[in-house]
Amino acid sequence: MLNSSAVIHNKVVSQKSGGFTLLEVMIAVALIAIAIVSLMASQSQSISVAGISRFNIDASFLARKKLTELRIIDYDSLSSETGEFEEDASGFSFELEVRPLDGDEIGFENEIDSLKIINLKIFRTGVPDETYWVRTVVMKQIEPGSP
């Protein structure tokens, strides 16, 4: 017997749940992977550029230091040499080429006795790709009263 006042409610069960399909999850994971890979490539490039900048800063400081040492030396004593920097710059080497300035390089016919060219190469020992070049000209100090 059924009571007329009692109402029977039938629930309709839905077949669709509120989650994501496997395809949607795979696409989302692929997009996240692409984003992470591009961020890692960008970070790697930043680190590389920072390393190059660091080398250029260190090498320019060492070149300035070496050129300052050369200014103290008597003009006639300047000569070519190679070597390594001391403890404060371990891992860096230099090649110094000193030669008289050829007049053809500046438009004169003869060699100029009072000018020398200095070519200074700073490089990280064992790393041939990292080099820093400085080229300068030094002049013999003119004594007062000399022609």
DSSP 54: H
Q: pLDDT tens-digit profile of 60-71? A: 999 999 999 998
Domain of residue 84, residue span: 55-139
Residue 92 lies in a domain: yes
Residue 6 lies in a domain: no
113: domain CATH number is 3.30.1300
Contact of 116 with 97, CB cutoff 8 Å: no
Residue 1 has pLDDT above 60, yes or no: no
Q: pLDDT tens-digit profile of 100-117? A: 887 777 777 666 778 899
Report the pLDDT value the prediction gives residue 16, as an integer from 0 to 100: 60
Residue 66 lies in a domain: yes
Residue 98 lies in a domain: yes
Residue 109 lies in a domain: yes
Q: pLDDT tens-digit profile of 69-104? A: 998 988 888 999 999 988 777 889 999 999 988 777
Closest CA to 101 of 113, 89, 93: 113
DSSP 73: S
Residue 46 lies in a domain: no
Residue 13 has pLDDT above 60, yes or no: no
Query: pLDDT band for position 29 (50/70/90)?
Result: very high
Residue 70 lies in a domain: yes
Look up the pTM and report it.
0.66
Closest CA to 101 of 85, 115, 83, 119: 115
Q: pLDDT tens-digit profile of 108-146? A: 766 677 889 999 999 998 887 889 999 998 888 877 876
The number of domains in the chain is: 1
Q: CA-to-CA distance for 135 and 85, rounded, in angstroms?
A: 19
